[in-house]
Amino acid sequence: MALWTLVVVAVLFVGIQVLGKIKAAFGGSVQAAGTANIQASADTYLREDVAASPGNFKIINISNVRNKKHWGLVRFTVVGLDSTATVVSANIKFYVSNGVNKNGSTVSAGYLCKAVGGSWSEGSTTWNSTNNPVADCSATFNLDTPGAPGAVPGETKISGDVSSVVTGNGTYDFYIMTNVLDDVTYSSKEADTTSAGGAFVIPDNYPTLTINWQMEGQITPTPTPTVPLTHGPFVGGVTDTVAKVFVRTSSATSVQLEYSTVPDLSSGVMQSEVKNTTSSADYTTILGLSGLSAGTTYYYSVVGNSTIYHFTTFPSQLSLPTSLQFAVFADLSSQDVTAPGYMTAANMNPAFVGQIGDLGHQPDPGARPLPIVIENWRKRFKQAYGDYDPMRPDGKDFASAFRNIPLFHIWDDHDYGKNNADKTTFSGSDAYIRPLVVNSFLEYNPLYELASGDPLNKGMWYSFRYGKLAEVYVLDVRSQRSPNSTSFSDPTKAMLGTEQEDWLKNRLSTAQADGVVWKVIVSPSSWNPLGKGYNNTPKGEDNWALFPIERTELINYINDPVNPIRNVFVVTGDMHTGGAYDDGTHGVIPELTVPHTNINQQNYCTGTNVKSIADCGLWTQILPGKNNAGFGWFDLTPTSANLKVIRADGFQQFSYTRTAQ
C-alpha cells in the first residue's frame, strides 16, 4: 500500500479477540446475557521517521506531525460467541497517558474508521510495510472523553461506540484518525501495571473492547451458592451509560451481578463480569455495569443472593433535565452515636449523595503510636459503611439508607490519615504509608474515572455531569497540598497543585462552552477566607485562607471579564458547624459548608480557641454545631439553585436561592 494514497492523518488500527467459549460464570451452561472485556493480543505503532517496529514498547504514540507521522496498530479477534448470541453493544476503550496540544485548543481524541484488508505483525511491521490495511471512512465512529466529547485532557480514558460494526464472531479492524496537529500517547498491552516496588496496581489501561451480548430465548443459569456479603452493595461512578458496584464478602469467593430494567429480574437480564474477592484486597471488589440507558432505573442483585437493589442512571449528557436534587454529608463523630440524617436524606429521594471527608475522628489511621498498617484505613471504612462494629451504629445507618442511591466520596485529613495532612505527611521514611491510604480508598469506593490517572503519585480528583444541568468537580485537597505553615507569599504554595488547578479550570471552561448551567465545586476544606480562623481575621486554620495566591487565581479565572464561568458555587465541609452559607460577600464565590453528620458534642465549630460562634468567622448565616447535625441539600433547576441546610430530623434550618445567569 503506497503511503501517498492515504489521507494525511494519524491512525490506529484495531482488531478484536475473545478467547474460548463464553460460559456461565458459576457453572457450565451458556449465559443468557453477559459482558466480555477483551484486551489487545498484539499492538505496535509505525513511525514515518524511523524504519523500525517498536512492538514491545509500553506506549502507542499517534502523531500527525509533518514527516513524522505515527500510526498505531492493535489487534483482537472475536471467537466463541454462540451462534444465537446477539451483540447488544460494543465499545472500544483506550487509555490516553498523554495528550500534547498543537492546534490551539483542546487535544483531539479523533475518530475511528474501519480498516480493510492487509496484514501485520507486532514484531516486524513498519511504516514501509507493503501490506498495511487501507481506511474505509464511509462511516466514522467518534472517540470521546466522558463529559468532554472530542477532547482529551491527558491521563484519561476515551471510548468509541462500534456497535454497528461488531455484530458477532470475526475480525474487526479499525483505524483511529485525527485531522489536527496533536500528539496523543496511548498505553499498550505492554504498559506497566504496577508502580515501582509493586505497591499499587493501576486499573485496566490496555486497549479494550467491551461487548454486551444476549442469547435468543431464555436459558436457565447453573445454580450458584450464596455469596456471604458483609458490606454493600453500594453503587457509584454512575453516568448516563455506566455504573460501578462495590461489595465485600466474608471470605474469598467469586462475585457477579445480574441487572435488568425489570424489577424482579425475570427477563432482559444482563450480567457483569465475574470478579474474585481475596484477602489481599480485604475481600472487596468493584464490578462495572455497562450498556445502560440514560435516565433509567435498573434493578440488580448479586448472583446467589435473593435481595434485589436498584438505582437510576443519570440523564443523557446532551439533555437539559428540569431538576436535580442531591445531598452532601461530612464529618462523622468519634463516639458511638447514630446518624439519623442518612435515612432522612434517603427519604428525600436524591439523585445521588456525596460524603466529602472525615469518616470519623477516632485516632487517625496514619498517626503514631498506632502500628501503621493498611487495616487502620480498612477498619474505618468497614465501620462507616456497614453493621460491622456495634460501637459505631452510624455505619448501620449508612448501609440501611444508601444501598439504592448513587454515591460519591473524597477524603479529607482524618480519613486521609493525619490531622491537617499535606503532601509531605507521608514522605521520606513514611513514604510507604501513601500506598496504604490509596489502596484502601480504591478498595472501598466505587469512584468515577480519576482525572489524574495516577492516584498513587498524584491524587484522586474527578468530575461528573448530570445532563447539561450540572457538573460536579470533586477536589483532592490533601495529595498535592503544601504545608499550611508555608509562607503566604511563596508562589508555589498551593492546595490543589498545578495539574489539578489546570484540570479544574479546563473542566469549568468546557462545561461553560457546552452549555452546562451549574458548576459545583466540592472542596472538603472551607473556601471562605474569613470563615474558619481566629476572631474573623483572614488568618485561617487548614482552609483556603492559607492559600491566597491559588485561591485568587481561581477567582480571577472564574470571573474573567471576557470569558466568565457562570453559575459557580462551592460545597465544603470540615467546619463541624450546624451549617453555614456565604453569598459571596466574604469569599467572592458563593459557598455552602454542610453541617457535621453526628458530632453533636461540638459546641460551635472546630478550631483553636473557639469560644463562641463569632470565632467561626464571618458568614451570611451560620449555625453552631451543638445538636445541629444534618446535611446539605441542593435543589437545582435550569433557572435557579436552592441551597439548604437540613437538620438530621428533616427540619429545614435555612436556605438560599441563586438565580442562574
DSSP string, 291-350: SPPTT-EEEEEETT----EEEEPPPPTTS--S-EEEEEE----SSS---THHHHHHHT--
Residue 236 belongs to a domain: no
pLDDT tens, position by position, 79-120: 778 777 888 888 888 887 765 554 444 455 566 777 777 787
Taking the complete model, does pTM exceed 0.85, yes or no? Answer: no
Rounded Cα gap, residues 566 and 555, in angstroms: 12
Domain identity same for 419 and 390: yes
pLDDT confidence bin for 144, thresholds 50/70/90 = low
Residues 6+ apart with CB under 8 A from 367: 417, 418, 419
The mean predicted confidence, pLDDT, of the chain is 84
The residue behind cell 468530575 is 463
* pLDDT at site 23: 33
CA dist 569 and 95 (Å) reads: 31
pLDDT for the residue numbered 124: 83
For the range 23-28, what are the long-range contacts, defined as Cβ-Cβ under 8 Å and sequence gap of 24 or more? 24/221, 24/222, 25/224, 25/254, 25/256, 25/271, 25/274, 25/303, 26/221, 26/222, 26/223, 26/224, 26/225, 26/254, 26/256, 26/274, 26/303, 26/304, 27/221, 27/222, 27/223, 27/224, 28/222
Per-residue model confidence (pLDDT) at position 138: 59
Q: How many domains, in total, are found in the chain?
A: 4
Half-sphere exposure of 32 (CA within 13 A, CB side): 16
Q: Are residues 356 and 432 in the same domain?
A: yes
> Is the same domain home to 203 and 287?
no
Among the candidates 311, 340, 360, a domain finishes at 311
Claim to verify: residue 432 and residue 476 sit in the same structural domain? no
Q: What pLDDT sits at residue 176?
A: 76
Those residues whose C-beta lies under 8 Å from the C-beta of residue 147, and which sit 6 or more positions away, are: 317, 463, 464, 465, 471, 507, 510
What per-residue confidence (pLDDT) applies to 145?
Answer: 52
Same domain, 78 and 176: yes
pLDDT number for residue 194: 45
Point out the domain boundary residue: 311, 329, 359: 311
Instruction: Assess if residue 292 is contained within a domain.
Output: yes
Calculate ∠ Cα 30-32-33, nearest 5°: 110
CB-based contacts of 111, cutoff 8 Å, min separation 6 = 140, 141, 142, 143, 160, 176, 177, 178
Nearest-CA neighbor of 352 among 443, 502, 243, 210?
243
Sorting pLDDT into bands at 50, 70 and 90, what band is 60? confident
Q: What is the pLDDT of residue 392?
A: 86
List of E strands, 462-514: 462-466, 470-474
Burial of 602 (0-12, 13-18, 19+ CB in 10 A): buried
Task: Answer yes or no: is pLDDT of 356 > 70.
Answer: yes
Q: What is d(CA 255, CA 339) in angstroms, rounded to the nearest whole number?
A: 30
DSSP character string of 569-618: EEEE--S-SS-EEE-STTTSS-EEEPPPSS-TT-SS-SSTT--SGGGG--
Residue 66's pLDDT band, with cuts at 50, 70 and 90, is: low
Same domain, 111 and 203: yes
Look up the domain containing 54 and give its range: 3-212
**56 and 125 assigned to the same domain:** yes
* DSSP single-letter state for residue 476: -
pLDDT of residue 540: 65
- Alpha-carbon span 497 to 499, nearest angstrom: 6
> Do 426 and 454 fall within a single domain?
no
Lowest mean pLDDT among 18-27, 142-151, 194-203, 284-293: 18-27
**234 assigned to some structural domain:** no
Please check whether residue 120 lies inside any domain of the structure. Answer: yes
My answer on whether omega of the bond before 233 falls inside 30° of 0, hence cis, is yes
Identify the CA nearest to 475 among candidates 415, 524, 542.
Answer: 524
Distance CA 266, CA 360 (A): 41
Same domain as 381, residue 512? no
pLDDT of residue 569: 99
What confidence tier does 534 reach under pLDDT thresholds 50, 70, 90?
Answer: very low
pLDDT at 369: 77
Q: How far apart are CA 507 and CA 565, in angstroms?
A: 11
Q: Helix or strand or coil: residue 101? A: coil
Angle 166-171-173 from CA coordinates, rounded to 5°: 80
Query: What does each C-alpha distance from 459 to 255, 441, 475 come to in angstroms?
Result: 29, 11, 9
How many whole angstroms separate alpha carbon 356 and alpha carbon 522? 8
Are both 299 and 416 inside the same structural domain?
no
Give the separation between CA 494 and CA 488, rounded to whole angstroms: 10
Q: Is residue 338 included in any domain, yes or no?
A: no
The answer as to whether 640 is a domain residue is no
Q: Rounded to an integer, what distance in angstroms lies between the CA atom of residue 449 and that of residue 201?
A: 15
In a domain, 635, yes or no: no
pLDDT in the model for residue 2:
34
- Please identify, among 426, 446, 466, the residue that sits at the C-terminal boundary of a domain: 446
Is 596 found in the same domain as 493?
A: yes
At residue 552, the pLDDT reads 97
Q: What are phi and psi of 16, to 5 degrees?
A: -130, 140
How far is residue 529's CA from residue 552's CA, in Å, rounded to a whole number?
Answer: 11
Predicted local confidence at residue 103, as pLDDT = 44
In the chain the first and final C-alpha atoms are separated, in Å, by 56
**Domain assignment present for 285:** yes
pLDDT at 148 over 50: no
pLDDT at 504 > cutoff 70: yes
> What's the rounded Cα separation, in Å, for the pair 414 and 419?
6
CATH code, 544 = 3.60.21.70
Are residues 190 and 59 part of one domain?
yes
